[in-house]
Amino acid sequence: MNKRTFKLAGVAILASTLALAGCGARTDAGTGGATGTKVAKIGVIAPLSGDLSAMGLGIKNSVDLAIKQANASNAIPGWKLELAAEDDQATPDVGKNAATKLASDDAVVGIVGTLNSGVAQSTIPVLDAAKIVQVSPANTNPSLTKGADYLTAPKRSNANYFRTCTTDDVQGPFAAQYLLGTGVKKVATIHDKTPYGQGLVTEFAKAFTAGGGTVVGAETINPDDDNFSAVVSKVKAVAPEAIYYGGVYSEAGPLSKQAKAAGLKVPLMGGDGIYDGNFMKLGGTDGDLATSVGAPVETLASAKAFLDGYKAGGYTDGYSAYGAYAYDAANSIIAALKTSLASAADAKSARAGTITAMSSVAFEGATGKVAFDQYGDSVSRVLTVYKVSGGAWKAEKTGELK
């Protein structure tokens, strides 16, 4: 999938967990009989159609798996969980409608989603007003949890929003630590003047300098430029040992190629915006580096149960990039529901209690430790450095930002 579209759309998969089984619910439940169970729904808001649907369906299926497992083990006695999935088409307006629809369903107690940060910006306020918790497996924009001034004055804007993935603002420092660890002391930075690129470079430079390195050059390019020779020559003159680039692959590829052609044969490193197969097609070469959030799921021992369950579940679509995070997101909501639903008369009255209970959720999930800090961000800050090798991205180092 196209990483740029993904970024532009603002990557936030809204995996909303719809929990109640609305119309299908047994209406006499709770009043009579020992078999009576009440229904709560966990919603999913994600792109289930269009370019990003591979990731959206992976999220939906992973949430479905978590719900089925919870029902099978009778995780919440007296309650049956159900899935209610809505398509947001990776579009803020559609996402907002989906959130409104789910909020009007009294059985919904939590939402997993969105994929795109831009969509999350429109769903969070709607769900906040209805006191429904939203846990995203994929939004990487730091401002969603810490507000617009997340660098200088972090301030939690919506109490109902949590996420299980890592954010953009730890990518820069992680890249800095990796480069310092490989002995690189002199780096030139280049960014494309977008908030994403500038944010990456600012955080990188701060951490790189603090770690004993020197930023020998700080340049920018225009996102529409094709010819970077003037910038490359200027950077070459200060002889850096690596280039850190804040931006996306469509400029990073040609930039890497033109730098090498001009005799500046040092690796170019970037964030998840360049972690895409097209980077190599456009000129990225062996030795170039990228950070991306999370760990490659296949390598995690903790994810084995998830992967086995997913396989056994017989889903036709893959779990994709954020499946394991969506699975953890759904399980975090289920963990909170254990507290909030226990004493609740109906699903709607448990909504506020679920948000309160989220902050004390802590368990070992598929992607590692799942718990949230005071802003709603995941406490696990795992990232992976990928390196181009033989024309493809290979995981180089997975670690946690200290």
How many residues bind to other proteins according to rule CB under 8 A? 30
Question: Does the footprint of other proteins cover residue 49 (CB under 8 A)?
Answer: no
CB of 148 or CB of 261, closer to other proteins: 261
Question: Does the footprint of other proteins cover residue 2 (CB under 8 A)?
Answer: yes
Q: Which residues contact 170 (CB under 8 A, 6 or more apart)?
A: 203, 381, 383, 401
Question: Does the footprint of other proteins cover residue 263 (CB under 8 A)?
Answer: yes
Residue-level length of the chain: 402
The interface region with other proteins, picked from 9-17, 156-164, 276-284, 377-385 by CB under 8 A, is 276-284
Distances (CA, A) of 144 to 91, 165, 181: 17, 12, 31
Question: Does the footprint of other proteins cover residue 222 (CB under 8 A)?
Answer: yes
Q: How far is Cα 232 from Cα 235, in angstroms, rounded to an integer?
A: 5
Instruction: Indicate the DSSP class of residue 170.
Output: G
Q: How far is the CB of 202 from other proteins (least distance, A)?
A: 14
Distances (CA, A) of 184 to 177, 209, 211: 10, 12, 11
Among 246, 253, 271, 368, binds other proteins (CB under 8 A): 253
Among 224, 301, 314, 343, binds other proteins (CB under 8 A): 224
Q: How far is the CB of 188 from other proteins (least distance, A)?
A: 11
CB of 155 or CB of 281, closer to other proteins: 281
Dihedral (CA of 82, 374, 131, 38) sign: positive
Q: How far is the CB of 221 from other proteins (least distance, A)?
A: 7
Question: Does the footprint of other proteins cover residue 281 (CB under 8 A)?
Answer: yes
Query: Is residue 305 within 8 Å of residue 366, measured between CB atoms?
Result: yes
CB of 43 or CB of 284, closer to other proteins: 284
Query: Is residue 79 within 8 Å of residue 107, measured between CB atoms?
Result: no
DSSP H/E element including 118: helix 117-129
Question: Does the footprint of other proteins cover residue 285 (CB under 8 A)?
Answer: no
Q: Rounded to the nearest 5 degrees, what angle is found at the Cα of 254, between the Cα atoms of 252 and 255? A: 60
Interface with other proteins (CB under 8 A): 2, 193, 218-222, 224-227, 229-231, 233-234, 236-237, 250, 253-254, 257-258, 261-263, 278, 281-283
